[in-house]
């Protein structure tokens, strides 16, 4: 199977924890060999448990989104792969006037999300194009069998000036280190490198602007400065192993 990002042939095949993985000879991207349809769909975990577990983290994340202008009081937000919906429920609590839509393929999660004050779509096709100020893609890109065309479709749902917030683990750092969390989940089928993620952005006409990884941390760090400094030092030696940031449309002709 050829690379889903640049179409080059594989240079290496290796056994990861849950999948047989291949490394592209062109861009160095790593991907699951022959992922089955819907392999990337995760089933619902107890929504209220998740809500409790992530309440404090979600509040910090949402405040970060507000401060950085990603969302505003009346934004139209689309969450693709909303899962148990804990981030969206926190968002509605903290910003009641926000309009929330989500796409979720898992039946049980879909039914649960339907009980919430959200517009729920069971596929992206139902989400209207050019309609959203902010699109949330948290732990999503590593689940997609064919990321380039799907990310283009998702991008087409943005309003002019809208942005996407993404998080995704890397499968290999630039030093070749592979013991990252990317391989710990059976539903993961894409294992990004900084280079292959950059190529994904180029192919979809998007610019990536990273933000501090701590916005996703479940723990409130007592000393943010030292936490970020230590992480930055580790990443500068080992390479980045977790991508967090905003994607926005690249100016015409910049790619
Ligand atoms: Zn490639």
Ranking 26-40, 109-123, 130-144 by mean pLDDT, the lowest is 26-40
Q: What is the mean pLDDT of residues 68-96?
A: 96
- Asked if residue 114 is part of any domain, the answer here is yes
- Sheet with 20-24, side-by-side order of all strands: 10-15, 20-24, 30-32, 190-191
Share of the chain above pLDDT 90, in %: 73
Span from the CA of 6 to the centroid of ligand 1 (angstroms)? 4
Q: How far is CA 73 from CA 48, 64, 78, 85, in A?
A: 25, 14, 14, 19
The DSSP element (H or E) to which 191 belongs, if any, is: strand 190-191
Confidence of residue 219 (pLDDT cuts 50, 70, 90): confident
Span from the CA of 136 to the centroid of ligand 1 (angstroms)? 25
Number of domains in the chain: 1
- Asked if residue 180 is part of any domain, the answer here is no
- Asked if residue 48 is part of any domain, the answer here is yes
Domain containing 106 equals: 39-167+194-249
pLDDT one-digit tens code per residue, 184-199: 998 899 999 999 999 9
- Asked if residue 64 is part of any domain, the answer here is yes
- Asked if residue 30 is part of any domain, the answer here is no
Span from the CA of 25 to the centroid of ligand 1 (angstroms)? 6
Instruction: Note the pTM of the prediction, 2 decimals.
Output: 0.92
Q: Where are the alpha helices (DSSP H) in the chain?
A: 47-67, 86-94, 107-114, 147-155, 194-204, 224-238
Span from the CA of 70 to the centroid of ligand 1 (angstroms)? 31
Q: What is the mean pLDDT of residues 49-75?
A: 95
Residue 103: strand, helix, or coil? strand
166 and 25 in contact (C-beta within 8 Å)? no
Radius of gyration, CA atoms only, the chain: 18
- Asked if residue 162 is part of any domain, the answer here is yes
* CATH code for the domain in which residue 154 is found: 3.40.50.150
- Asked if residue 229 is part of any domain, the answer here is yes
- Asked if residue 217 is part of any domain, the answer here is yes
């Amino acid at each position: 199977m050829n690379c889903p990002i640049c179409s080059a042939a594989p240079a290496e095949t290796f056994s990861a924890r849950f999948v047989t993985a291949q490394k592209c000879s062109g861009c160095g991207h790593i991907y699951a060999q022959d992922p089955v349809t819907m392999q990337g769909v995760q089933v619902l975990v107890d929504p209220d448990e998740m809500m409790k577990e992530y309440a404090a983290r979600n509040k910090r994340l949402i405040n970060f989104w507000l401060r950085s202008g990603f969302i505003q009081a009346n934004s139209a937000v689309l969450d693709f792969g909303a899962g148990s919906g804990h981030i969206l429920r926190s968002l509605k609590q903290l910003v009641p006037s926000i309009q929330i839509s989500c796409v979720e393929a898992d039946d049980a999660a879909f039914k649960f999300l339907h009980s919430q004050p959200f517009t729920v779509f069971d596929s992206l096709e139902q989400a209207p194009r050019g309609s959203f100020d902010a699109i949330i893609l948290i732990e999503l890109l590593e689940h997609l069998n064919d990321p380039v065309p799907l990310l283009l479709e998702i991008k087409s749902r943005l309003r002019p000036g809208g942005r996407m917030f993404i998080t995704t683990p890397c499968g290999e750092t630039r030093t070749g280190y592979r013991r990252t969390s990317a391989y710990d989940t059976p539903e993961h089928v894409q294992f990004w490198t900084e280079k292959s993620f950059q190529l994904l952005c180029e192919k979809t006409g998007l610019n990536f602007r990273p933000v501090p990884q701590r916005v996703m941390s479940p723990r409130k760090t007592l000393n943010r400065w030292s936490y970020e400094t230590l992480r930055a030092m580790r990443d500068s030696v080992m390479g980045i192993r977790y991508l967090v940031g905003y994607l926005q449309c690249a100016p015409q002709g910049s790619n």
